[in-house]
A and B are shown apart, each in its own frame.
Chain A
Amino acid sequence: MADHDDGNPLWDASIDRRELLKRGAVAGGALAAAGVLPRHAFGALPGAAGNVTFYSNQLAQVAESEAFRKTLLQGFDGKVDAIFAASDAEFDTRVRTEARANKGTVDVLGALHGNYTTLEDKNYLLDLSDIAKDFTTGKYAIAKNLMTLGKLGTNKQYYMPWMQATYLMAANKKVLPLLPKGAKINRLTYGQLNQWAKNIEAKNGKRLGFPASSSGLVHRFFQGFLVPAFSGGVVTTFKTPQAAAGWTWMKAAWSHTHPQSLTYGFMQDPLLSEEVLLAFDHVARLKNALELRANDFVVFPAPTGPKGLAYMPVLAGLAIPKTASNIPGAKALIRHLLSRSTQAKTLSSVGFYPVVAGRLSKRVSSGLRAEANAVKIQQTSAKALPSLLPIGLGGEGGNFNNVYRNAFTRIVIKGEPTTAVLADEAANLQAIMDKTGAPCWKPDPPSNGACKVK
């Protein structure tokens, strides 16, 4: 343990203290100017970070918030008041109000890429280029495409990538022999997935599972996976025949789906109880199953549709508003959260993946490593079609989700005719786009003005 005494046992190379100190000194230049010198390393920057107010719409579930306060802030030499917004709307309102008043109490913001792009005035955020330059190479490097997202289309670093996540499929190993002939688990098509679920039904009953209760994230499956994989878009292609084909697939798959799916919030629970043998969910919501019984489960990418392997990447970032009262402390907190040890703890405690480079060591549970591997295969697939979380919807995000959920309820559960439902819901979708004026986001082609349903 001697070489891990810096509280960083989760990376596969032990950390060179001298190197860290050197980097800390360089990185702490700005802090040094403010009279705050790095005492130790990234992981535990200044003793004088003071009071820092952290405001986030991520990690808002009670268990996650607790993990943030107890585990992720460990080693940070300052007092952090961590506040978690219950909803995007609450987050947007507070950030916008503080910006307008040109006066605020928040020092560090934690939010998704889409939340930052929605800000009316990007100049409300401090340019973090001075921090960014310390995360360009070596073990501390953050992938360039992530850094570019943080620039919000400018040459300033408005937010630092913080943690990432996505959604995956998981299966109990006992249904692997039931895979359809010729199907490769890491390159499943939607047709093969359906056939697999059908084979499972013949032997074990309806064992496919979706998190379709009100606390489940099944709408992300429709927005980020099903609809784009079949139609190539999310909004513009909403009522195309290709999208309708996607819903027809859903109907077929639903006939092999566990009837209790409407009560599932986190798929890790029915996977563990074996009510469900094949499931789709957010990585953080599969985590417990994979950690508790890594040997019983496999994780693999979402299936590929006619337009590609559509998947929804989730990227959260850290930013400092201009109205922050403790900017040196805020920067110290960002460096702390991006330190390798905190990044590793972020994975093991809340299930979000690191943004900094470096291979995960064997000390990370094998379940989490399997997940990381599946995430990588999904991202780097030749057919990958990233489908972003909605951007620019602000308080309408809930209604946007409702359109997809209603389409699901009406077409799949109540059996209404697909084309008519899609036409109805397309009108609702268009109303939301018009109300917010949100331009299209990937994979829809860029638009001038509000995104239009074709």
Chain B
Amino acid sequence: MASVAQPAAQARRARRWEGLPYWLVLPTLAYLVIFFAWPTIQAFGLAFREDGVWTLDAFDTMVNDLRFKEALRVTLILIVVIIPLQFALAVAMALLVNAQLRARGLFLYVFLLPLAISDLAAGIVWSSIFTERGYLNTVLEKLGIIDTPYIWLDFQKESLLLFTIVVAEIWRSTALLMIILVAGLQGIPKEFNEAAGVFGAGFWQRLWHVTLPMLKPSIQVALLLRVILAFEVFATVIAIAGEGTTTLAAEAYRWENTNQDENVAAAYASLILVLSLVSAGIILRFLRTRKEQLLR
């Protein structure tokens, strides 16, 4: 008798455990729906509806605004300039941390410090460095490199202004890429590099033909995160450049806060979302990792 009942009970228990993962996912799912999906839908609603009527007025205002083109242009320039630089730096930093050096722990903590600072605070720090009576000019003057303070944050010299933003952004967010790449590097078995070394591959050859290809999944994640965050950059820009230049997210903020027009702000937010989705799609498509490349 018992021998008949047992498999049934076992099956029941097994079925219960089958359902468990879904229950465990539920809180996350609820969180995402309440705090991401629903606000996203609401933002689209705000962008396309005004006073209960479907309309493209908000987009019309956005596109015809004095600063729209500049915001779009600067956002794209920042992405194109910052991300490759950051990647090169992040790979170097990750290799340094991963190399069996004595002070590797110290390197890791120093590199990670900027991550702990909010982007607005970072912006303010860099603005106090670049401002006319700031730290940079003081140091340059002390060293005798310049006689009178140089004005770095001059709205008439756009490339210089963008340069200061690039420096601040690289300082602030390269560590994010580095930490993902370090995790990826640690997943690569030593044998591959050693084998390549045995066959006479130098450092650059090993980096190019072994390490980077094996890092591809990590690079994909890092790139995805970084590009999405780059579309949202604004606190650093506002703190350093003020009204001297602008980005899409800064404009969304300005329309919401200064101009108090939530519809146009939502239109900007929708545009940022669409651009992020498109670039995420492109990254996923072109950095696809084939199954056989995956390390198991």
Contact = CB atoms under 8 A, between A and B. Distances in A.
A395 B263 CA distance: 13
Contacts of A87: 257, 260
A259 B260 contact: no
Contact of A259 (B127, B156, B259): B156
B155 A259 contact: yes
A263 B258 contact: no
Nearest to A396: B260
A409 B133 CA distance: 26
Interface residues of B, number: 24
Contacts of B151: 259-260
Given A260-B131, A273-B133, A212 B66 contact: no
B241 A262 contact: yes
A395 B256 CA distance: 11
A262 B243 contact: yes
B244 interface: yes
Interface in B141-156: 148, 151, 153-156
A275 B242 contact: no
Nearest to B154: A259
B275 to A, nearest CB: 23
A263 B261 contact: no
B196 to A, nearest CB: 51
Nearest to B67: A409
B242 A214 contact: yes
Contacts of A262: 155, 241-244
A402 B156 contact: no
A260 B243 contact: no
B267 to A, nearest CB: 15
Interface string B216-255: 0000000000000000000000101111100000000010
Given A259-B153, A259-B155, A262-B155, A213 B243 contact: yes
A413 interface: yes
Contacts of B259: 398-399, 401-402
Task: Give the contact-size bracket for chain A.
Answer: 20 to 34
A214 B253 CA distance: 10
A406 B67 CA distance: 9
A410 interface: yes
A245 B195 CA distance: 78
Contacts of B67: 409
Given A214-B254, A260-B151, A410-B66, A395 B260 contact: yes
A213 B253 CA distance: 14
A127 interface: no
Interface in A394-418: 395, 397-399, 401-402, 406, 409-410, 413
A89 B153 CA distance: 33
B57 interface: no
B254 A263 contact: no
A264 interface: yes
A395 B260 CA distance: 7
A216 B254 CA distance: 13
A264 B242 contact: yes
Nearest to B243: A262
A263 B128 CA distance: 11
A398 B261 contact: yes
A64 to B, nearest CB: 17
A275 B152 CA distance: 13
A121 interface: no
B254 A260 contact: no
A213 to B, nearest CB: 4
B40 to A, nearest CB: 23
Given A213-B242, A213-B243, A89 B260 contact: yes
Given A259-B156, A263-B127, A275-B133, A212 B261 contact: no
Interface in A368-406: 395, 397-399, 401-402, 406
Interface in A61-96: 86-89
A263 B260 CA distance: 21
A397 B258 CA distance: 9
* Most chain A Cβ neighbours within 10 Å, of B132, B155, B260: B260
A329 to B, nearest CB: 32
B165 to A, nearest CB: 12
Most chain B CB inside 10 Å of its own CB: which residue of A86, A214, A260, A406 = A260
A263 B241 contact: yes
Interface in A263-284: 263-265, 273-275
A275 B150 CA distance: 11
Contacts of B260: 87-89, 395, 397-399
A410 B66 CA distance: 8
A218 to B, nearest CB: 9
A270 to B, nearest CB: 8
Interface string A202-227: 00010000001110100000000000
10 contacts: A205-B148, A212-B242, A259-B154, A259-B155, A263-B127, A263-B241, A273-B131, A274-B133, A398-B258, A410-B66
Interface of B: 66-67, 127, 131-133, 148, 151, 153-156, 238, 240-244, 254, 257-261
Instruction: Rank and list the top 7 A-B pairs by shortest CB-CB distance, nearest first.
Output: A263-B242, A213-B242, A398-B260, A398-B259, A259-B154, A262-B243, A273-B133
Given A395-B260, A397-B260, 18 more contacts: A87-B257, A89-B260, A212-B242, A213-B242, A214-B238, A214-B242, A259-B155, A260-B151, A260-B154, A262-B155, A263-B131, A273-B133, A274-B133, A398-B260, A398-B261, A402-B258, A406-B66, A409-B243
